[in-house]
């Protein structure tokens, strides 16, 4: 019996593809580089080059008028160990840490409360959102002038308000123990960005989870601690990291309140109780003609922020549960 003859498979002629025009890929690359060129130029000219220059000047003795004199690690060792040459360096670190410890939790708490209230409002929420966000876009000079008046020991509205509860008037900005709390209240007042981010996080919580908690008999307080807080954990972590970084670099408001007025002898409030780290850095750079030491201060702050941020990533929970 003859073996069966297998039919030959028809040969399929491949369909010719569209030819790529010569130079088309190179033109794509050129257009891409042209589009990112402004960002690259900005990074190189205004970020990378100044940072490298500041790193070099941190090893020099420079007063902005004469040629820098190389001194090696002298600026760093003097800042850390020479209290006679830099008497307020450690005081500025203490003030900044105190401000961070008080201002960051107060700001996050205020932002979360505002976001919860806005999330519960169904009509007019955009109007209230705008009112709560206005302090963020207000110029710091105006904010400082407003709060100096609000904290005025004689005519300030805050003292008028607390008197209604039998609390005596306070000299907020001239009492060393009250300076950091007073600055922290201002930071909490300017929590608009954190409030918007928290509000977005609340909108992202699935309705099914809330409804399941209600069916299980959870009350408002239980739903807040067992549903809202765990679901907002990634948002809180982000705001905590960025809030700590911003608090460690606080400058504008403190400068306006304590060093921006007519009395140029004032540097950091009573007994230097408002002398934050960046304000101390600014004074040495532009008032005391010690730009080399100021650059060294900036890199000490940079390293400290890197360490604190790394510790937050390691020890603070980030995932929602």
Per-residue pLDDT tens for 176-217? 999 999 999 999 999 999 999 999 999 998 888 888 888 888
pLDDT at 312 over 90: yes
What pLDDT shows up at residue 267?
Answer: 72
d(CA 294, CA 129): 40
Give the pLDDT confidence of 245-293 residue by residue, as tens digits: 999 999 988 998 886 554 445 478 888 999 999 999 999 999 899 999 9
Residue 48: predicted pLDDT: 95
Question: What are the CB-based long-range contacts (under 8 Å, 24+) for 205-212?
Answer: 205/231, 205/232
CA distance 267 to 255: 8
Contacts of 249 (CB under 8 A, 6+ apart): 277, 278, 301, 305
**Residue 84: predicted pLDDT:** 92
pLDDT digits (tens, 9 = 90+) for 63-120: 988 999 999 999 999 999 999 999 999 999 999 999 999 999 999 999 999 999 999 8
Tell me how far apart the alpha carbons of residues 123 and 137 are, in angstroms, rounded to a whole number.
24
What is the per-residue pLDDT for 292? Answer: 95
The band of 17, judged by pLDDT with boundaries at 50, 70 and 90, is low
pLDDT band at 10 (very low <50, low <70, confident <90, very high): low
- CB hemisphere CA count around 320 (13 angstroms): 13
Domain architecture of the chain: domains with CATH:
29-78 (no CATH), 87-315 (1.10.3720.10)
The per-residue pLDDT for 68 is 93
pLDDT band, residue 18 (cuts 50/70/90): low
Q: Provide the pLDDT for residue 263.
A: 47
pTM for the full model? 0.86
Beta strands in the chain (DSSP E): 60-61, 69-70
Mean pLDDT score of the chain: 88
Concatenating the DSSP letter of every residue in 219-271 gives: -HHHHIIIIIHHHTHHHHHHHHHHHHHHHHT--HHHIIIIISSS-TT-SSSGG
CA distance 290 to 133: 38
Which of these, 243, 221, 220, 210, lies nearest to 316 by C-alpha position?
Answer: 243
Computed on alpha carbons and rounded to an integer, the radius of gyration of the chain in Å comes to 29
The pLDDT score that the predictor gives to residue 2 is 54
């Amino acid at each position: 019996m003859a073996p069966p003859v297998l039919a030959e498979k028809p040969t399929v002629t491949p369909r010719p593809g569209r030819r790529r025009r010569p130079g088309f890929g190179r033109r794509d690359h050129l257009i891409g580089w042209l589009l990112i060129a402004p960002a690259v130029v900005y990074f190189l000219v205004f970020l990378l080059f100044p940072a490298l220059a500041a790193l070099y000047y941190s090893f020099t003795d420079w007063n902005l008028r004469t040629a820098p004199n190389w001194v090696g690690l002298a600026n760093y060792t003097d800042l850390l160990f020479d209290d006679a040459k830099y008497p307020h360096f450690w005081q500025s670190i203490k003030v900044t840490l105190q401000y961070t410890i008080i201002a960051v939790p107060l700001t996050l708490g205020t932002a979360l409360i505002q976001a919860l209230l806005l999330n519960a409002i169904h009509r007019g929420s955009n109007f209230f959102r705008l009112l709560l966000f206005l302090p963020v876009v207000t110029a710091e000079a105006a904010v400082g002038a407003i709060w100096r008046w609000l904290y005025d020991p004689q005519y300030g509205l805050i003292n008028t308000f607390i008197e209604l509860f039998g609390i005596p008037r306070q000299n907020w900005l001239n009492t060393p123990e009250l300076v950091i709390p007073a600055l922290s209240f201002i930071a909490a007042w300017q929590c608009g960005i954190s409030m918007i981010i928290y509000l977005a996080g609340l909108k992202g919580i699935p309705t099914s989870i809330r409804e399941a908690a209600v069916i299980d008999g959870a009350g408002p307080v239980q739903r807040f601690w067992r549903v809202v807080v765990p679901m907002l954990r990634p948002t809180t972590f982000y705001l905590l990291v960025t809030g700590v970084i911003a608090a460690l670099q606080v400058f504008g408001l403190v400068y306006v309140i304590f060093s921006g007025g007519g009395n140029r002898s004032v540097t950091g409030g009573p007994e230097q109780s408002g002398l934050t780290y960046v304000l101390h850095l600014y004074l040495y750079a532009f008032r005391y003609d010690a730009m080399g030491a100021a650059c060294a201060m900036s890199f000490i702050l940079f390293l400290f922020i890197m360490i604190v941020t790394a510790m937050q990533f390691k020890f603070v929970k980030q995932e929602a549960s």
